[in-house]
Structure 1
Amino acid sequence: MSKGQEAEITAWLATQSERSIDTACAHVFLAGEVAWKLKRNVDLGYVDFSTREKRKWALDRELAFNRTAAPDIYRAVRTITREADGSLAWDGAGKALEYALEMRRFDDGAVLSADPSVIDGEMAEALGRTIAGFHAAATLRPNGGLSALEWTINSNAGLLRDLKGQLGAERVETMVEMTFAELARQRPLLAARTRAGFARRCHGDLHLANILIENGEPVLFDCIEFNDLLSDLDIQYDLAFLLMDLDFRGRRDAGVRVLSAYMDQAARSFSAMLWEGLAALPLMLAVRAGVRAHVSMHAGDVALSKAYVDAAIAHLSPPGPVLAAVGGFSGTGKTSFARAVAPGLGRSPGALVLRTDEVRKRLAGAGPVDRLAREIYTPEFYQRVYDTLFETARAALQAGQAVVLDATFTEPATRARAEALAAECGVAFHGVWLDAPLAVLEARVVARTGDASDATVEVLRDQVRRHGEQDVGWTPVDATAATTLTGAAAQAWVRDVTR
């Protein structure tokens, strides 16, 4: 397709469309409930669409790859033909002139980048679990993983150094040198993860502009198809783009909810190296910020590019981890409090929230909110749940990730284990005990729906009967007013423990 033919085809498509969108790699035409994507005749170095065969190859892969996550959106690769009378047609009898991807059009306003503020807790939870399921089903790519990440790091370094006159040489060199140093430090772990099956055919471009919400569910679209080095990734590096994007937009609250949900869901499919891999998360966040830095620069936004470089440096200079534990009887709002304080603890996106309720469901082979039979609640199972909770927390803390433990902690022995774990890992410990009148707790337990907890009013009353008079020794928080758990009380507590 010559430049003249490209102009002819785009003009023809424009006559059939309401509007068009141009990107560096494609022309997109919107018509009614249909969208057509035409690859541009370009060679940008990291992507080469300079021949019709290469464009057709990329469109076929784009269709195949995206049908995994968005089968209702990606329809077919269509042929644009030159008919005998010289006109253009879709899939006509004439000579194939070019190809376009036909998609179902969706609401632009449903894309999360349009308004990140709409990402509430339930949506963030669904995002984390959806992405984990996508990764669990993805094809193994043992030649990717570490090699793909290293390629991007080298690419970032070259592209940003070319721009250092506008970005500032010292800023760029600091970021590049810190990135290479962290890559060297994490190389053994990354190589081990690649060998262990964490390198898979991933989305590759998983930021907010490539996720939309339809019928209340997240849909991942527009994955990378043109370069295996950008899609055959460590699954955590794929997730890191979304986490970095949320952090950059000031939504650590959503980011840590995504991460916590993702890890719980992914732990059902991946080995314990899942938790160890958190050690490489700051590197991955920094690399993703580096990608956005040079993309922003080429789009002409110098200030935004500088901000991304600074964000990358910050990710590579993270604060150390802490261990917090939130205890209390059923209905006190432990999970609400844990999720409210998590964004303010440790490095981006905040503290990983580990819930005994979710651990219990994983160990039982049940879904996150499935109800378990009362028979499973034996002393042996109780012990196994707490053992798993502390083993997971240890791995995360050793990887540098702050942790909030969400459990009843009614037994002195479990509270002692939490404090001992912090001492073992050399991190600060902060224990919180929530309390409220029994009538308030009973009302909350009765009203609870769609949550991992199986607690009933009878369970609550038994907890109070057996443990109601003990002196816990952790910071007390009045949980009578539910709003204080996610508002003033939570923020005041974070300020106290982080100053």
Structure 2
Amino acid sequence: MSGSLSPLEAEILAWLSGQAERVIDTACAHVALTPEVAWKMKRHADLGYADFSTLDRRKWALDRELEFNRPGAPDIYRGVRRITRTIDGGLVFDGTGETLDYLLEMRRFDEGAVLSAIPEAVDGPLAEAMGRMIARQHATAPLRPEGGLASLAYTVGSNARLLRQTCEGLDARQVETLVELTELELETQAARLAHRSAIGYARRCHGDLHLGNILLEAGRPVPFDCIEFDDLLSDIDVQYDLAFLLMDLVFRGRGEAAARALSAWLDESARAFRDGLHDGLAALPLMLSVRAAVRAHVAAHSNDPALARAYVEAAINHLSPRPPMLTAVGGLSGSGKTTFARLAAPILGAAPGAVVLRTDEVRKRLARVGPTDPLPPAAYAPEAQALAYSRMLDEAQALLAAGRAVILDATFLDHALQGRAQALAAEAGVPFKGAWMTAPLAVLEARVATRTGDASDATVEVLRGQAERAEPPAGWLPIDATAPLGEQAEIWAWA
């Protein structure tokens, strides 16, 4: 067990160890594991960013941890238990003697199923599920207008102080570069962040939403271990909450998953949030950088200077994002437009990559149904189609203005719609390029006939109608949809 322990802390840990398979030390707690139960005890210390030095502070933190985590993981968090002294001087749970400390009782889960242990498990569908789950939680979270900017500014200052204090093994000049760049970007984004706080984007959030705090059970992501000990770390901008997951995925080389999680979060968030959703992405590079800096000082405090240096470098790189561009992927239903777009997304623009806007998803939002709920044919009438394309292009315009690369994923069957996309890029002053997916009609018919669980409602009959009126665009790169798409998407994105 690392770190100095108080005599009482050592006594309780020895007692727990006698009942547990093992005890894990974390930055804030000791966790004793039995085959069925995990008991979490807060460290008896003031850690600088969290004060657990008194019995009352530890009780307060555990009560809040139970309250904050139960909504997302109700069958994991069970209750707060008392540790009391017996008449003969021993220790027991919930006895009649003096209360010495408190523990949080949790159901034991498979540590190997925590996503930090299996980052390769975060495939496209899981990333999609996480992005939408997080957005739904944000939409119902309590408003905290006093948070947001104030909370992010606090963390920027805390990062600077802690990185400077733990700079052994770090490049002091890099640390100072990071501090200076972060403070400048915070000043640039301050008005935007303050406005977001005022209009509903500052809420009580998880606060520590990296892969080490997301469990995969029965194919479903389960967030746990919310921050409970400091409101300045949990009453934050919802986008900053998401940024920890995005930064962690990018850092671990899971860029495709990060880009998909961002697009899913935005699509789901657009159902609950209105003004300012896409404008806020101008602050995402700052938020990603601050999250990387948090991990840098945690790694330094955990005596891993190589990892800390890597996080400092990542934090600096996030503050020099690649410029935005507008791209479009068109073609008949079943031609693999969305697959191609998602493969290209992490290569385009600022981390974690381009936002993919699908007319299929925009249409479902406009109809106020779920992203894969079927719609009647009337939803595809010319007027409805025009509205879906207009909304998609409006959102693309806002994203480009916020510095975010965009991929438009739509059939683009006629030259007028193709021209509107290219005109938008010209108006925004960003580069444009298009891809046109091609495949024999029989191949597309077979794909459409067997497709399930997707936002598209296209049938074989609809596909045949598309084929009769499609106008392939001049200047868009033809993509063979029957060949593997990964290499083709990479070549197109880098071209």
When normalised by structure 2's length, the TM-score is 0.97
Q: 2:40 touches 2:103 (CA, 8 Å); kept in 1?
A: yes
Q: CA deviation at 1:67?
A: 0.5
Q: CA deviation at 1:271?
A: 1.4
Determine which of 353, 363, 371 is the counterpart of 2:374: 371
User: Secondary structure of the equivalent of 1:98?
Assistant: strand
Distance 1:79 1:445 in 2: 59
2:492 is the alignment partner of 1:493: yes
2:323 matched to which residue of 1? 320
2:361 is the alignment partner of 1:358: yes
Determine which of 453, 474, 478 is the counterpart of 2:476: 474
Q: 1:26 touches 1:39 (CA, 8 Å); kept in 2?
A: yes
Determine which of 3, 7, 18 is the counterpart of 2:6: 3
Q: 1:204 touches 1:231 (CA, 8 Å); kept in 2?
A: yes
Correspondences of 1:320-339 after superposition (within 5 Å): 320-339=323-342
Distance 1:157 1:236 in 2: 22
Q: CA deviation at 1:472?
A: 4.1
Q: How many pairs are equivalent?
A: 491
Determine which of 58, 61, 76 is the counterpart of 2:79: 76
Letter in 2 for 1:493: W
Q: 1:433 touches 1:472 (CA, 8 Å); kept in 2?
A: no
Q: CA deviation at 1:18?
A: 1.0
User: Secondary structure of the equivalent of 1:68?
Assistant: coil
Letter in 2 for 1:379: P
Runs of 4 or more above 4 Å deviation:
none
2:268 is the alignment partner of 1:265: yes
Q: 2:166 touches 2:301 (CA, 8 Å); kept in 1?
A: no
Deviation string, structure 1 residues 343-370 (Cα, Å, up to 9, x no partner): 1111100100000000000000000100
Deviation string, structure 1 residues 118-174 (Cα, Å, up to 9, x no partner): 111111100101111111111101111000000000111122223445322221111
Determine which of 169, 184, 189 is the counterpart of 2:172: 169
Report which stretch shifted further, 247-256 or 8-17: 8-17
2:278 is the alignment partner of 1:279: no
2:61 is the alignment partner of 1:58: yes
Correspondences of 1:31-50 after superposition (within 5 Å): 31-50=34-53
User: Secondary structure of the equivalent of 2:38?
Assistant: strand
2:21 matched to which residue of 1? 18
Determine which of 337, 347, 358 is the counterpart of 2:350: 347
Q: 2:255 touches 2:352 (CA, 8 Å); kept in 1?
A: yes
Letter in 1 for 2:487: A
Q: CA deviation at 1:86?
A: 2.2
Q: 2:169 touches 2:306 (CA, 8 Å); kept in 1?
A: no
Correspondences of 1:103-182 after superposition (within 5 Å): 103-164=106-167, 166-182=169-185
Determine which of 432, 454, 463 is the counterpart of 1:429: 432
Distance 1:171 1:223 in 2: 30
Distance 1:64 1:464 in 2: 55
Q: CA deviation at 1:473?
A: 3.6
1:98 matched to which residue of 2? 101
Determine which of 409, 412, 417 is the counterpart of 1:409: 412
Deviation string, structure 1 residues 196-216 (Cα, Å, up to 9, x no partner): 000000001010000011111
2:449 is the alignment partner of 1:450: no
Deviation string, structure 1 residues 227-280 (Cα, Å, up to 9, x no partner): 001100000000001111111111111100100001000110111311110000
Deviation string, structure 1 residues 465-491 (Cα, Å, up to 9, x no partner): 1226x554411111123xx22x22112
Structure 1 unaligned residues grouped into runs of 5+: none
Letter in 2 for 1:437: P
User: Secondary structure of the equivalent of 2:456?
Assistant: coil
Distance 1:153 1:105 in 2: 35
1:67 matched to which residue of 2? 70
Letter in 2 for 1:273: G
Distance 1:461 1:371 in 2: 19
Deviation string, structure 1 residues 381-401 (Cα, Å, up to 9, x no partner): 111101100000011111001
Q: 1:467 to 1:143 in 2, by over 3 A?
A: same
Distance 2:449 2:416 in 1: 29
Q: CA deviation at 1:14?
A: 1.1
1:386 matched to which residue of 2? 389
User: Secondary structure of the equivalent of 1:69?
Assistant: coil
1:213 matched to which residue of 2? 216
When normalised by structure 1's length, the TM-score is 0.97
Determine which of 285, 288, 292 is the counterpart of 2:291: 288
User: Secondary structure of the equivalent of 1:28?
Assistant: strand
Distance 1:476 1:93 in 2: 77
Q: CA deviation at 1:373?
A: 1.1
